[in-house]
Structure 1
Amino acid sequence: MVLVEEVKEDIFAGERESDFETDSEISDDESVVSEDDFDADAETIFDRIAALKDIVPPTTRTSIVATTDSIKSWAAWALASSGQVAWWATTSALLVGLPLALAIEDEARISQQEREMQMQSAGQQQLIGGAAAPGSGAQQVMPAGF
């Protein structure tokens, strides 16, 4: 069986046990707001979240704040680092990749021109070779009427 005992606040008058205590506790001499005075439509989400502060113990609040600060600092570091990596990659691509791509394209263009010149000279050799030596194995076709 549980024994519930009321602790008088007169003993702790003017003192707080920790820095995390709130002033939202209602003492016996203050009037309690009745349910008739409460307007749920006027209460905002922020008011509801702020009211939860009294439910969470101070040690838990401290650990939540420490964890949140740690996550926030890691996220800021990750964002700054990813920005630096993106800057390095972009700069490297512009300084190394772009000239390399242009050199490869120029080499391909020169290679294509060389192939065209070889095909052109081979075609000229066939034209010159066929007209210069008529008796050298080239057969002349005669029309059927002669």
Structure 2
Amino acid sequence: MVKLTEVEDEHFTTEKPVPSKDSLLVSDNEDDDDYTDTESEISVDSAYDGESETLYQRIVALKDMIPPQSRRRIVGTVSSLTSFTKSTFSFSGKALWVISTSAFLLGVPWALAFAEEEQYVQMEREQGMMRGANEMLTPGADAAAAALGAANPEQKSQAAL
């Protein structure tokens, strides 16, 4: 078991003189302003190698600076955001799957039927244009045949043979 003992620094244990009311910021010892503790073990014997420490190790070391309540709140927030993000991506993936398969199952047959209908319409246009061209070449032939067919349907069937 480790037993902790608090060791106070000499700088904090010595009593400082209380300034008088007349002096505002006057110090008896001018060296107190630039005081540094040069006898500490850290400054003399340091085995710390900052070059070999990774960023992850530095972040983990900073963990102790944050109070436990704040850490719990941060961890809770991060875990809820992570859960929300995972569920959103999962739902989006499933919705995309449903939409894409529905489009293939319903859209492809519709597109094929639409293309076939367009072909029929195009063929009818071409036939209409051919009739119009024939009408221009022989202007009275169709009208005479139509009049003849209306007058005598038997002659029309014989003329066609």
Where on the TM-score scale, by shorter chain, does this alignment land: which range? Answer: 0.5 to 0.7
TM-superposed deviation, 1:112 = 0.8
Please tell me whether Structure 1 or Structure 2 has the larger radius of gyration of its CA atoms. 2
Structure 1: 5+ residue runs without aligned partners? Answer: 1-12, 15-25, 133-146
Structure scoring higher RCO (CA < 8 A, sep ≥ 6) equals: 1
Q: Which runs of 5+ in 2 are unaligned?
A: 7-39, 143-161
Q: Following the alignment from structure 2 to structure 1, what is the Cα–Cα distance between the partners of residues 112 and 41?
A: 78
Deviations 1:86-113 (A, max 9, x none): 1011011111112222222211111110
CA distance in 2, matches of 1:116, 1:97: 28
Residue aligning to 2:93: 83
The residue aligned with 2:42 is: 34
Give the structure 2 partner of residue 140 of structure 1. none
Deviation at 1:50, TM superposition (A): 1.0
In the other structure, the counterpart of 2:132 is 122
- Per residue, is there more helix in 1 or in 2? 2
Counterpart of 1:86 in structure 2: which amino acid?
L
Q: Name the Cα RMSD after superposition.
A: 2.7
Distance 2:64 2:132 in 1: 94
Report how far residue 129 of structure 1 moved.
2.8
* SS of alignment partner, residue 88 of structure 2: helix
Corresponding residue for residue 69 of structure 1: 79
SS in 1 for 2:103: helix
- Match 2:123 to one of 85, 109, 113: 113
